[in-house]
Structure 1
Amino acid sequence: MDKPGEVNLEKANWEKMRRMSMKELLTNIGVLVGFIILCWGGCGVMSAITADSFGDDSEWSRNLKKPSFNPPSFLFAPVWAVLYLLMAIAAFAVWTKTGFTKRPLPLIVFFIQLALNFLWILVYGLANNLGASFVIIMLLLVGIFLTMVIFHTVQGRAWTYLLLLPYIAWTTFASVVSYSIYDLNRD
């Protein structure tokens, strides 16, 4: 039971959704699907481009010296599927408050870090450049951190940074793996 003067946010959000026009609802669904397609689709395109030069199917990758804590290849697809979905949901939630034009900075920073994410795949997997890919993953970590900080400042959507915690944790681990592979294969 709500106390006098208290606002039940769950109830208020439900009421707002019920009052939403069909056009607004379809726009929201479209934008959410768009963010998911952008994240999953971008990864899919990068994976297709690098399919023969990345992972267990790649002679180059198989011949790399890897640290003992290098994760098995089968782990990457499900982990990244979840991470990209969480990224899409966070970006969508921010978009519902900022749009693309009202306050563009949060989504601009999001798109920059996503571009760095995809660039890392190309530089590591296609160009096979361990040094440059390590520099890119370090820039990506900065981009993820900035995205989290800026998402946290969006009024009513401060919780969105929490959706990016698994992403920054995995990318931090990946940067340690990336540096270790670079260090073990300098010769």
Structure 2
Amino acid sequence: MGRIAAALAAVAPVAAAAIIGNAATLPNITPWYESLVKPPFNPPNSVFGPVWTVLYILMAWAFFRVLRSPRGAARGHAILLFLVQITLNAAWSVAFFGFHSPGTGLVVIVMLVTALAATVHAFLAVDRIAGGVLIPYLGWVAFAALLNVSIWWLN
């Protein structure tokens, strides 16, 4: 795959997830999310935007590297897993914020953590840098899962 085609193919699903996530999240911060009881370790709302921006950039770059790697079964498997996890990424925002449902969000984020861990493993097999670049994202989603379960429990 050429550089431009790979760049477009890498950015498109990540941008779509970001757009869907923002569309589900932003209108529901006030008053719904602000009214929820949150754990003491919940970061301020101002932290989430910058963190997600960096993570989405890293995701697109990692996916670009995998798309540019030599064809093979491992690459195809890594691409499929990436597309599954990025779909779950967007679905979490819709479930949690859009549906005002921490319980549904919890179900989705457990699937996301599982799919993302598998994606990291698959990326490491294709391109070690691409796999390594996704590790902060996995850490953040694991933290988000802890926040999600805490919010579900407290509310």
**TM-score using structure 1 length:** 0.76
* Greater percentage in helix: 2
Helix, strand or coil at the partner of 2:68: helix
Computing the radius of gyration from Cα coordinates, the structure with the larger value is 1
Give the 3 Å change call, closer, same or farther, for CA 165–101 of structure 1 in structure 2. closer
**Aligned partners of 2:10 and 2:67 also within 8 Å:** no
Q: Which runs of 5+ in 1 are unaligned?
A: 1-23
Q: Is the 1:50–1:126 Cα contact (8 Å) retained in structure 2? A: yes
Q: 1:116 to 1:100 in 2, by over 3 A?
A: farther
Whole-angstrom CA distance in 2 between matches of 1:167 and 1:111:
15
| Residues in 1 aligned to 2:3 and 2:77: alpha-carbon distance in whole angstroms | 20
Alignment of 1:28 with 2:11, yes or no, is: no
Does 1:89 pair with 2:61? yes
Alignment-derived partner of residue 148 in structure 2: 178
User: How big is each residue's C-alpha offset from its partner over 1:17-50, in whole Å with a ceiling of 9 and x where there is no partner?
Assistant: xxxxxxx7xx312321442243134212331244
Note if 1:51 corresponds to 2:26. yes
Q: Does 1:38 align with 2:8?
A: no
After superposition, the Cα gap between the structure-2 partners of 1:102 and 1:69, relative to the gap in structure 1 and judged at 3 Å, is: closer
Distance 1:102 1:160 in 2: 13
Instruction: Tell me the distance in 1 between the aligned counterparts of 2:16 and 2:153.
Output: 32
Q: Are the counterparts in 2 of residues 100 and 107 from structure 1 also a CA contact under 8 Å?
A: no
Aligned residue among 132, 135, 160 for 2:130 = 160
Same amino acid, percent of matched pairs: 30
How do 1:3-18 residues align onto structure 2 when only pairs under 5 Å count?
A: none
Distance in 2 separating the partners of 1:153 and 1:101: 11
Q: Partners in 2 of 1:67 and 1:113 — Cα distance?
A: 26
* Paired residues, number: 155
- The 3-state SS of whatever aligns with 2:132 is helix
CA separation in 2, counterparts of 1:100 and 1:46?
Answer: 32
Normalised by the length of structure 2, the TM-score is: 0.91
User: CA 1:71/1:102 → structure 2, altered by over 3 Å: closer, same or farther?
Assistant: closer
The answer to whether the aligner puts 1:138 opposite 2:113 as a matched pair is: no
Where structure 2 has 5 or more consecutive residues not aligned to the other structure, the ranges are none
CA contact (8 A) 1:134 1:178 kept: yes
Partner Cα separation in structure 2 for residue 159 and residue 102 of structure 1: 15
